[in-house]
Amino acid sequence: MPRTRTVERSRLVPHTIDGTTHLVLDRYKVDMPQPPRDWDRIVLTGVTAAAAVIGVASIVWSTTSIGSLLDLVVPLTAAAYAAALVFDLVWLSCMALEWLARYDQERAALPRRAGYVALAIAMGAVGAHGWISGEFAIGCVAATVSGLAKVMWTVVLRHHAKPLDAFTQQWVDAERAKAGGRLAMVSVRRELTRAEQAVTAEQAALSGASGAAPEEAPESPEEAPEPPEAKERPPAYGPMTMTDAVRTAISSGITEPEAVVRYVRQVSDASAKEESVLRTLRSLRRTA
C-alpha cells in the first residue's frame, strides 16, 4: 500500500441564510500519495555535509600546526595563528570559485589549479612544522589531513558539476558577453559624466577668474526679451467694462480669441467667463 500524507486545502462554497447567499471558505483535508524517499539525494546531502565537517577539521588542524610553526618567529601569537588561517582559506576559497563555475569547465580550470598550488603550500607548511619539531613522519601524516579534505571536496564538486555541451556553452558565453558589455557601459557612462562635469566646473572657474560674463546671460535687465503676452497687450486706460476691453483689444490688432480673453481678464475682470468674452467679441465684429 503506498504511503500517503494528509494535506489541508480550502475552497469557496455558497452559504445561504434568510435568502441571502455568500461564498464562504470551506477547509477540508485530503490524503495525497507520498513519493518514495529520494535516497540518492539523501546520500549526496550527507556526503556534502561530511565534506563540510572535514573542511572545518582541516582548517582547525592546519591552523594549529602552522600557527605553532609561525609562533617560533613571530612575537605576537594571535598574528601567527591569523596568518596560519590563510593557508587553508585560500584553497577553500578556490574550491568555492570552482563551485560557482561548475557549469563552465573552462572558467573552473583556473581556480582548480590555484587551489592545488595553495594546498601544496599548506601541506608543505604542516610538514615543515613536524620536521622542525623532530617528528618528520608525524608531520607528513599531519599534512595529509589537508590533502584528504581537498580530495573529498574535489570528488563532491565533480559530482555536483553539470558541464554544458559545446553549442550550449557558446550560447551561454555570448549571453554573458552581452550582459557584461551592458554592465561595462554603465561604468563607462558614469566615468564620462564625471569627466564632463569636471570640464564644466573648470570652464566656469576659468571664466570667473578672467571676469568674463557668461555668454547666455543678458548684459542688462533692460535687454531681457519680453514675453509674448507683454508684446500683444495694449496699454490700459483706467477701469474698463468687458465691452470696452474687447473693443480696445480689437482696435489694437488683437484678433485671436484666446488673446482677447487674456486681455479682458487683465484689464477688466480677472474672473470673466470665456463664453461671455467670445460672445461680446462676435457681437462687436458683426456691428463693425
pLDDT digits (tens, 9 = 90+) for 258-267: 888 888 888 7
Tens of pLDDT, residues 121-150 = 989 988 898 888 888 888 888 888 888 888
Q: Please, which residues bridge with residue 92 across strands? A: none
Q: Where are the beta strands (DSSP E) in the chain?
A: 4-17, 20-33
Q: What is the mean pLDDT of the chain?
A: 82
* Dihedral Cα 69, 72, 76, 78, nearest 10 deg: 20
How far apart are the two ends of the chain, measured CA to CA in Å? 105
pTM assigned to the model? 0.51
What is the CB neighbour count within 10 angstroms for residue 145? 21
Residue with cell 557601459: 185
Q: Which residue, 149, 94, 143, 151, is CA-closest to 117? A: 94
The most distant pair of C-alpha atoms in the chain lies apart, rounded to whole Å, by 126
pLDDT at 208: 65
- Could you tell me the residue ranges of all domains in the chain? 1-186, 226-287
pLDDT at 286: 79
